[in-house]
Amino acid sequence: MTEEVLARGFYRRDSLAVAPDLLDRLLVVGDRAGRIVEVEAYCGADDPASHAFRGPTPRNLTMFGPPGHLYVYFTYGMHFCANVVCGEEGEAAAVLLRGLTALRGVDAMRAVRPTARRDRDLGAGPARLCVALGIGRAHDGADLVTGDRGVVVVDDGTRPAVVSVSGRIGLRVATDRPWRFYVPDAPGLSRPG
């Protein structure tokens, strides 16, 4: 089966369109890789829950850049989370990566995530996903189209049979917007279902 890197144009669309299309794509970081099974869309200036809602800051600058780059942020004093920048440059739309099925480099993932009881827990959650793949501050701004810093998103032809939708998780505002997309019953979901 052929593997193709997703092109710039894939990301240059509304985050609500990109988000479900990212499901079952392979996220590759160096020697580790997994399948994206859960994401959330964030819609720039129109979205009170988005980091971009109040305009550009040093932290969220990557979101305002060109699409197809990784936006990595630090939160809760100890966790990194990773997004894919979408839409036109300046739009600051993004898709948060929340769940991963571990595929390659699973031994390395187990080594850095000793608290994971089962392999399906390795990438189950946005911060866990980053630890499992080794994503940190150094990856902020990496270009997913060129394979910058070893990070790339690949289409291997696999498509989800069904995509489920729900409200976003962990927010205090705009919680009612049904902008979470996931592959039901896939290993690596941040919560069962």
Partner DNA sequence: ACCGGGATGTTCT
Partner DNA sequence: GAACATCCCGGTG
Say whether residue 51 binds DNA (CB under 7 A): yes
Task: Give exposure, 95-126, as e/b (b: 16+ Cβ within 10 Å).
Answer: bbbbbbbbbebeebbeeebeebeebbbbbbbb
Say whether residue 172 binds DNA (CB under 7 A): yes
3-state helix, strand, coil in the chain (%, to 5): 20, 30, 50
Q: Which is nearer to DNA, 125 or 187 (CB)?
A: 125
Amino acid at 41: A
Q: Where in 73-132 is the site for DNA (CB under 7 A)?
A: 74-79, 81, 83, 94, 96, 113, 115-116, 125-129
Say whether residue 175 binds DNA (CB under 7 A): no
Say whether residue 17 binds DNA (CB under 7 A): no
CA distance linking residue 136 with residue 2, whole number of Å: 29
CB of 113 to DNA, least distance (A): 6
CA distance linking residue 13 with residue 31, whole number of Å: 29
Say whether residue 57 binds DNA (CB under 7 A): yes
Question: Which chain residues interact with DNA by CB under 7 A?
Answer: 40, 42, 49-52, 54, 57-60, 63, 74-79, 81, 83, 94, 96, 113, 115-116, 125-129, 168-173, 190
